[in-house]
Amino acid sequence: MPQVKIIAKNFIDMVASLPAVKLDMLYANPFICEAILRSLPPLAKKYVLQMMYIDAPIPAKSLEEWVLPDGLSKHRVAIDRLIQLRVLSETVDRKKETSYEMNKKFQINLQKQLIHGGILPREPMASSSVILPSSEELEIYALEQWEHFLLHLISSNQSEKLTNFSSSMMKVFQRGLLSQRDKEASRLTEYGFQFLLMETNAQLWYIIREYIANAEERGVDPANIISFLLELSFHETGQAYNINTLNEVQLNTIKDLSDLGLVKLQQGRKESWFLPTKLATTLSVSLSDTATRKQGYVVVETNFKMYAYSTSKLHCEIMRLFARIEYELPNLIVGAINKESLYNAFDNGITSDQIVSFLQQNAHPRVAEKVPTVPENVTDQIRLWESDLNRVEMAPAQFYDEFPSKDLFEAVCDFAREYGALLWDDSKKMQLVVKGELHNEMREFLRRQKQ
């Protein structure tokens, strides 16, 4: 099974991977300095705020005094993160004593942002000149766009409305999730199946990371996209912003983001504008901070029947990954979990823990408060069926028969048994199976016996 890619919890990992020159360019923007501060672990935030007006290097021993003794492990994590981001620089003097100093550009611009605030390159348009959708309508739009994208990822035939992404852009998003052989239809990889069972926020971060990682292939500086996305997180959800305020890179990016449901594009008689959704305005916040309890829709019974109270085709296709769909009604999907459907899921790289976690996280409100939310006999059986597969190990072996005499057969069995390589034998039919690694020695032994 291929190694599963690690999904960045926020932009902090992507920012840390940028070269030092590009990091310094980003820190020239006060909004980005604040976005970095918002994304830091709590202890790292504390250090940045306490060092805000300290111009001289601070000894490492003095920094350690700012935290309780039982918090030293978190202290090291915070310091390492700040060094990765070049927010802090580390120096060691002749006495081998370590000290830390804050990045001057980051320090000055963060001071400006926190004290005086900042003005975004664009302000919301007057409400009298645009027609704004309600927050509910905007949320529905974002969900529908995201579901259309995922359906297109599973199978373009399942999507009522194909995304507007170019084929090259779809390849960027599908990288690692789909594989295609010559003259064969594309199919989900093991990680692709696992991706579909993830929370929406985790899926979004994977797609955004791939989008940024492949920016250079499109002739775009990744730092420019990161800068724009961080800046976008300071916009207000549902407010209209004039598209004419965007440069060429930002305009292309905003069009791509609209297909993912991060923004909604609207056209007026004279002007065009975009409206950020909640997905866009939480981009600079960690995944754990944005995770919320969503409305569940799945009920699993002790007889392995599964009922999904949903009108979403995406939900149906996700359930089909590990269950047999029996029939669909306008607002109800009925399926069953059985050995065959689970074996197909296991073959595709989905684990029993992922299936159980999916059923628990998406439990219908009527069963979500119960303990357990999924019947124990169902979860135990799912894990047992997976363990059954793991009991069988494939190893090369060699089959021998048609021995000319009983004595030679028994001699060969003794030889294989001596090396611990005899896997099976039938004395009546004079047949045996030995480990493949002993084949050359067996041939040499048989050759000597014939002499």
Could you read off the pLDDT of 308-341 as tens digits, one per residue?
Answer: 999 988 899 889 989 999 999 999 999 999 999 9
Q: Within 10 A of 64 (CB to CB), how many other CB atoms are there?
A: 14
Report the percentage of the chain scoring pLDDT > 70.
88
**Are 352 and 403 within one domain?**
no
For residue 249, what is the DSSP state?
H
pLDDT digits (tens, 9 = 90+) for 346-360: 888 888 998 998 899
- Residue 1 placed within a domain: no
> Residues 4-23: what's their mean pLDDT?
66
In this structure, are 106 and 135 located in the same domain?
Answer: no
280 shares its domain with 249: yes
Only one residue has tokens 């199946």, namely 193
Token pair 């609209």: residue: 258
- Domain final position from 359, 374, 391: 391
Number of domains in the chain: 4
How many Cα neighbours within 13 Å face the side chain of 365?
Answer: 4
Query: Please, which residues have CB within 8 angstroms of residue 133's CB and are 6 or more apart in sequence?
Result: 141, 238, 264, 275
Three-class secondary structure of residue 124 per DSSP: coil
Who's near 198: CB < 8 A, 6+ residues apart? Answer: 206
CB 413 within 8 A of CB 445: no
**pTM score, two decimals?**
0.66
Domain end call among 265, 289, 313: 289
Whether residue 16 is found in the same domain as residue 100: yes
Average pLDDT over residues 104-133: 84
CB-based contacts of 132: which residues, under 8 Å, 6+ apart? 238, 239, 240, 275
Can you give the pLDDT at residue 304? 96
Could you tell me the CA-to-CA distances from 371 to 16, 355, 375, 390 in Å, in that order?
42, 18, 9, 29
108: pLDDT confidence band, cut at 50, 70 and 90?
A: very high
* Residue 332 and residue 366 in contact, taking contact as beta carbons nearer than 8 Å: no
Q: Are residues 141 and 242 both part of a single domain? A: yes
How far is Cα 117 from Cα 76, in angstroms, rounded to an integer?
31
* DSSP per-residue string spanning 317-334: HHHTTTSEEEEEETTEEE
Q: Is residue 47 part of a domain?
A: yes
How many other C-beta atoms are found inside a 10 Å radius of the C-beta of residue 325? 16
Q: Which of 59, 93, 116 is the last residue of a domain?
A: 116
374 within a domain of the structure (yes/no): yes
- Residues 137 and 212 reside in one and the same domain: yes
Whether 5 maps to a domain, the answer reads: no
User: Residue 27 belongs to a domain with what CATH number?
Assistant: 1.10.10
Are 160 and 270 contained in the same domain?
A: yes
Convert the pLDDT of each residue in 37-57 to its tens digit: 888 888 999 999 999 999 999
Would you say residue 179 has pLDDT above 60? yes
- Rounded Cα distance, 214 and 258, in Å: 18
**262 and 379 co-located in one domain:** no
Same domain assignment for residues 84 and 147: no
Q: Average pLDDT of the chain?
A: 83
- Cα–Cα distance between 294 and 258 in angstroms, integer? 22
Specify whether 172 is located in the same domain as 284. yes
Domain-embedded: residue 403: yes
Let me know whether 143 and 68 are in one domain.
Answer: no
Q: Write out the DSSP string of 130-160.
A: S-PPPHHHHHHHHHHHHHHHHHHHH-GGG-S
User: What is the rounded CA–CA span in Å between residue 146 and residue 430?
Assistant: 64
pLDDT digits 0-9 by tens, 232-260: 878 888 899 999 889 998 998 998 888 88
* Residue 78: half-sphere exposure toward Cβ, Cα within 13 Å: 21
Query: Residues 82-109: what's their mean pLDDT?
Result: 92
On whether residue 6 sits in a domain, the answer given is no
Please indicate, yes or no, whether residues 225 and 374 belong to a single structural domain of this protein.
Answer: no
Query: Position of tokens 């259309």?
Result: 148
Q: What is the identity of the amino acid at 211?
A: Y
Instruction: Give the range with max mean pLDDT: 160-169, 197-206, 207-216, 302-311.
Output: 302-311
Look at 415 and 381; give whichever has higher pLDDT. Answer: 381
Nearest to 432 by CA among 448, 449, 415, 445: 415
Residue 316 belongs to some domain of the structure: yes
Summarize pLDDT for 87-99 with one digit per residue, the tens.
999 998 888 899 9
Enumerate long-range contacts of 176-184, CB under 8 Å, 24 or more apart.
Answer: 176/5, 176/210, 177/153, 178/153
Q: Which of 82-96, 134-148, 209-223 has the lowest mean pLDDT?
A: 209-223
Residue 94, domain extent: 11-116
Pair of tokens at residue 328:
């669909």
Distance, in Å, from the CA atom of 136 to the CA atom of 133, rounded to the nearest integer, reads 8
Distance of CA 340 to the CA centre of its chain: 27
Asked if residue 344 is part of any domain, the answer here is yes
CATH of residue 422's domain is 3.30.70.2610
| 430 backbone φψ class: left, alpha, beta (φ>0; ψ -120 to 50) | left
